[in-house]
Amino acid sequence: MSTSQLTIFISRTSAHVAEVLRSSKDVVIEKDYTLTEGNDVGYTEKLNRIFEDFPLKDEYQEYSLAWGTQTKTLVPLGLFNESSAKDISQFMFGKEIDTTTIDYNRLMELSMVNVFEIPNWVKRFFIIKFPRILIQHEHTMFLRALFQGSTFNRKVLVNVCNDYINIDIVFHNELIFSNSFQIQNVDDIIYYLAFTIEKEGLKEEVAEIQFYFADDLSKQLSEDSQMKIEKLKLFKNMTFKNAESSFKLQTLCV
């Protein structure tokens, strides 16, 4: 019998909950929710309603949560060891950042650390609700899962989140580019993808492009972006793989 994992993606504006089979990575059930509360009490009340609505099992083999925010930065492990998450966050995000909300994930396979902000209500709610849950930044989970697969050939990965995208490029088992960009529509996605490919000198290179999404909206943005890029014939030497749910990647990260 296949065992399942409860996977969650959450940001300040939305929550996406899914049950995923660990063996096949098939999504059994998933639901999307909008968050508009804007304060700790409101978020907690809404999350309680969400998990009353979602048909939870009594027990899952694993629990994982990906926190989505563009306030994050990848730094070399050596630099992190010589500094602190607080100092790095203030340097990257400004002195006004609330350092009590700063956390980090080590990516030992890349010799890097992902420093990011995560509000206290996220950890407080989910650790009480699911004591065994793994909480990490969504980009951490994405990169960890990515480097468990094949990364020798050049790949351009576009992970569409709520109002931003992560673009990662891998080649010869190395992460050669990683950045995030704010977006509002398909044209923004295409612009930043074309900008990145041009900037990295890859316009004439052979590569594989793949989109990832977390919910129906980001799925539609992913598919529409791919369709428009292919119609415009922007990257003649690059091929597309079908867009996939980022929920499936969480099964590789626990």
pLDDT digits over 45-69, tens only?
Answer: 999 999 999 999 999 999 999 999 9
Q: Kindly provide the residue ranges of all beta strands, DSSP E only, lying in the chain, ordered along the sequence.
A: 4-10, 14-21, 27-34, 62-67, 72-76, 102-107, 112-117, 134-137, 155-160, 164-171, 174-182, 207-213, 238-245
Query: Phi and psi (nearest 5°) for 82?
Result: -90, -5
Q: How does residue 193 score in pLDDT terms, banded at 50, 70 and 90?
A: very high
According to DSSP, the β-strands at 27-34 and 102-107 are: unpaired
Rounded CA gap, 10 and 14, in Å?
6
Rounded CA gap, 74 and 139, in Å?
10
2 pLDDT above the threshold of 70: no
Q: What is the set of domains in the chain, with CATH numbers?
A: 72-117 (no CATH), 150-244 (3.30.420.260)
CB atoms within 10 A of CB 198: 10
73 pLDDT above the threshold of 90: yes
Q: What is the pLDDT of residue 254?
A: 65
Q: What is the pLDDT of residue 95?
A: 85
227 pLDDT above the threshold of 70: yes
167 pLDDT above the threshold of 70: yes
